[in-house]
Amino acid sequence: MYRSGGSAGPSDEGGPGYSQPALDSFGTPLREVVFCVVDLETTGLAADACGITEIGAVKVKGGEVVGEFSTLVNPGESIDPRVTRLTGITDEMVADAPGIETVLPMFLEFAQGATLVAHNAGFDIGFLRHACELTDTRWPRPPVVDTVVLARRLTEKSEVPNRRLGTLARLFGSPVTPNHRALDDARATVAVLHGLIERASGHGVVTDAELGEFCRAIPSELQNRKRHLADGLPQGPGVYIFRDADDRALYIGVSVNVASRVRSYFSAAEQRRRLRDMLASAERVEVVECAHRLEAGVAELRLIAGGKPPYNRAAKFPEHRSWVRLTEEPYPRLQVSRKPPAPGTPRLGPASGTQAQAAIGAIEAALPIRSCRTRLSPKRMSPTCVLGEIGRCAEPCRHTVGVEEYAALVERAARAMDGDPAPIASAVGERLAELAASERFEAAAERRDELGAYLALAAASQRVRHFVAAGEMVAAGRAKGGGWEVAVIRHGILAGAVRTPPRADPMPYIAKLRETSRSVEPAEDVLDAAHAAEARLLLDWLGRPEVRLVLVEGTWATPLAGAERLAGSVPHDPSSWRREPSAW
């Protein structure tokens, strides 16, 4: 886990990037400061809802590496297949790794007394601080340097198109290429840090105190003028809504401490131009107080879907999600649609348009279902296309198959969406093996990505459908400070929420909550993308280790032949594509 380098002596006076500090300088000369450059890999983006999967850190002093720290971490939850595709870290890799309660004290000991450095430090430090909260560990409050902030002040658009780690690593000649693995990314950040410090020295920055001041932006006059909007807000969980003079919602956010979060918009740390523009129009902040963070998260989803605030990112709007569905015509085809399919019809989704199109590619690679958009008639023939000529389509355009025979093919496509994905995986796997055998690895990689997207989407769609069909369930999670965070869920919708007092019997509160919770119409599947987003949020919460099921009315189960058993199983190693697909 640890690897120590040789001890680093002080660099020569007047060496590159460092200059002799004046007698009246305050702080420690940068050549004497110990920096601990850290990078994390995680299961997602939200520190209070996701786990750490890997920590990598490099300790440097005077331009020399004095130690390294690296370990995988068991996050206590499944890793999203999309994250696995980005980092290469799988559930199997972290299964035997230590938990954060074991790793965190070791890392804090390694970093003790050092200035922490990270690229986009708010992300990494946010996860570390949340890990301290979860493990009842005191956060040591070390000095922090963000290389993104430094890069914004010390690089120009003419030399770098953006301030991503990979871009800056190339600019400063890092010997290590960032690859979304913690230690390698930390090593690349070391090279970026040294390059930025060298540039900062030209601005008279020679001590850690001066570096901190150089990084610290001054709050704008606008932020100071609007600071009063944060006055008197509650300190518990809830949703905050910035509204303009016409009472229109500009931006909607969620926090476990609304007052603290809203105050952060008026601090020097908030430099996002989009939110600065929002503050210029904001006249008041409305708060919807919630029983606990789950209810707050659901309330945020509902308010964003209903209010369409212009400063929230478009990715949060459910109507921008896509579905895979079958068209309604004599010779149906698969299509990507923003309109949710009718209840009870085969579907995959909702998902991004890119993932939906990739899933269609996998099904079409396994089945000779037509992909052309021509409106075909069973009474007259239409021109054929190249896919028919090479055997990739059943050619209903030429009436090579009748309506009934083609319907059987469509039924197989429907089962690929709602049932067992194994026939699709097997057929695409055989194609992968053929491409790999002929060393067409680029084409094989495209088919692999399509298959991975299909399996992940099928698993997510089926998981949500079975959850919604289960009916009513009650669950409770341990609350920080004591008590329980209780949720009544009905057909994938949060119907009621309460937090019970510490040391109180939760059952009377649960009984009363069930009586007063919202009535929900029975459903066998999600009704639209907003319903799906809420159901997925609830499922993520139910999967947390501190959450317990109290009761389930109905049946909540996943079929053995469902897609979850295959999701994430597509091999990345080209040599494995030559094996029999059944071996996967």
Residues 58-61: contacts with CB under 8 Å, at least 24 apart: 58/183, 58/186, 58/187, 58/189, 58/190, 59/34, 59/35, 59/110, 59/111, 59/114, 60/8, 60/34, 60/35, 60/190, 60/193, 60/194, 61/8, 61/31, 61/32, 61/33, 61/34, 61/35
Q: Which residues sit opposite 497 in a β-bridge?
A: 487
Cα separation, 377 vs 172, whole angstroms: 62
Find the DSSP H helices in 164-230.
165-171, 182-201, 208-215, 221-226
Which class would CATH give 221-314?
A: alpha beta
Nearest-CA neighbor of 294 among 254, 251, 354, 340? 254
Cα distance between residue 538 and residue 521, in whole Å: 18
- Order of strands, sheet of 493-499, starting from the edge strand that comes earlier in the sequence: 493-499, 484-490, 472-478, 547-553
pLDDT at 584: 47
pLDDT at 23: 33
Write down the domain spans for the chain: 2-215, 221-314, 320-457, 471-554
- Is residue 541 packed enough to be buried (19+ CB in 10 Å), middle (13-18) or exposed (0-12)? buried
Exposure string over 2-30, b if 16+ CB within 10 A, otherwise e: eeeeeebeebeeeeebbbebeeeeebbbb
Partners of 47 in beta bridges: none
| Residues with Cβ within 8 Å of residue 522, at least 6 apart in sequence | 471, 491
Could you tell me which CATH class the domain 2-215 is placed in?
A: alpha beta
Q: Report H helices in 422-516.
A: 422-437, 441-469, 506-516
Nearest to 556 by CA among 457, 421, 478, 464: 464
CA 469 from centroid of its chain's CA atoms: 26
Q: CA-CA-CA-CA torsion for 421, 422, 425, 429, nearest 10 degrees?
A: 180
225 contacts: CB under 8 Å, gap ≥ 6: none
For residue 67, list its beta bridge partners: 4, 59
**Lookup result for tokens 């850290």:** 38
Rounded to a whole number of angstroms, the CA Rg of the chain reads 27
pTM to 2 decimal places: 0.64
Q: Look up 180 and say whether it is catalytic.
A: yes
Q: How far is CA 537 from CA 348, 351, 460, in A?
A: 18, 14, 12
**CA triple 280-282-286, angle to 5 deg:** 160
Assigned token pair, 386: 């190249």
- The Cα 479–Cα 546 span in angstroms is 9
User: Distances from the Cα of 101 to the Cαs of 15, 76, 104, in angstroms?
Assistant: 42, 11, 6
**pLDDT tens for the chain, residues 1 to 584:** 433 333 333 333 333 333 333 333 457 899 999 999 999 999 987 777 789 999 999 999 999 999 999 999 999 888 988 899 999 999 999 999 999 999 999 999 999 999 999 999 988 999 999 999 889 899 999 999 999 989 988 888 888 999 999 999 999 999 999 999 999 999 999 999 999 999 988 877 889 988 887 776 556 677 888 989 999 999 999 999 999 998 999 999 999 999 988 988 887 666 677 888 899 899 999 999 999 999 999 999 999 988 889 988 766 778 789 999 999 999 999 999 998 898 889 999 999 999 999 999 999 999 999 988 888 888 888 887 877 766 778 888 888 888 889 999 999 999 999 999 999 999 998 888 888 888 888 888 899 999 999 999 999 999 999 999 999 999 999 998 899 999 999 999 999 999 999 999 999 999 999 999 999 999 999 999 999 999 999 999 999 999 999 999 988 987 777 888 887 677 665 555 554 444 44
The order of strands in the sheet holding 284-289 is 249-255, 238-243, 284-289
Written as six digits, the tokens of 304 are: 């964003």
Residue entry with tokens 């348009």: 353
Per-residue CA distances from 302 to 79, 313, 533 (Å): 26, 15, 9
Q: Residue 271: its pLDDT value, please?
A: 65
Residue whose entry in the numeric block shows the structure tokens 């023939």: 381
Q: Fold identical between 2-215 and 221-314?
A: no
Q: Which of 180, 320, 399, 491 is catalytic?
A: 180
The string of DSSP letters for 53-90 reads: EEEEEEEEETTEEEEEEEEE-B-SSPPPHHHHHHH---
Joined tokens for residue 341 = 């399919």
